[in-house]
Chain A
Amino acid sequence: GAVVSQHPSRVICKSGTSVKIECRSLDFQATTMFWYRQFPKQSLMLMATSNEGSKATYEQGVEKDKFLINHASLTLSTLTVTSAHPEDSSFYICSARLQTYEQYFGPGTRLTVT
């Protein structure tokens, strides 16, 4: 299957700081990537759809000024959590979509805000 990487895998930051998470498709080009958030023992919650060269589409209830998404190339999307607070602590997962529409997920990033 297609490979998607995320960096970092874990990050701890102080309240009020910003954190950037990278998502890369390693062996294919992805015009569309997705960012999800997952709470313990829960399903995946779609935060936004990231399209290369255009603005991201955010799901209802997701603050676009807090969760900045940039899809600068066909293999890279970034999620920046700005002015992070403890309630932003979560498992963030990206996925990338093939032209045949299958979605492949990255390994996830565990964010802890202290």
Chain B
Amino acid sequence: GENVEQHPSTLSVQEGDSAVIKCTYSDSASNYFPWYKQELGKGPQLIIDIRSNVGEKKDQRIAVTLNKTAKHFSLHITETQPEDSAVYFCAASVYGNNRLAFGKGNQVVVIP
């Protein structure tokens, strides 16, 4: 099955700086890659996703890039703010398949 690895496990950044989280996946058939933000005690929130027919997608301060050849995708958060502090999970699946394979999560801490 699909195996998703996420690095680094913890990331601390100064407010206003950028944060980048990278994930790698193993199954070349995977073609759907969502990112979720989870705040303490809450359910994960879908913040952005990308399908394999594009290499980059942006939504205001967040962007996701995909490198199908290398089988990795990254989340970029620019101009970080304290409210960006959370655990971020990447996931991968074959589009149309039910199962999402999740990474282990990345704790992002934005230092004011």
Contacts and interface: CB of A to CB of B under 8 A. Distances in A.
Chain B, interface SS category: loop
Interface residues of A, number: 21
A104 interface: yes
A112 to B, nearest CB: 13
Interface stretch (A13-21, A38-46, A65-73, A75-83): A38-46
B96 A46 contact: no
A6 B44 CA distance: 13
Interface of A: 1, 4, 6, 32, 34, 42-44, 46, 49, 93, 97, 101-108, 110
Interface of B: 32, 34, 36, 41-46, 49, 89, 95-96, 98-100, 102-105
16 contacts: A1-B45, A6-B43, A34-B98, A43-B89, A43-B104, A43-B105, A44-B89, A44-B102, A46-B99, A46-B100, A101-B96, A105-B36, A105-B43, A107-B43, A108-B41, A108-B42
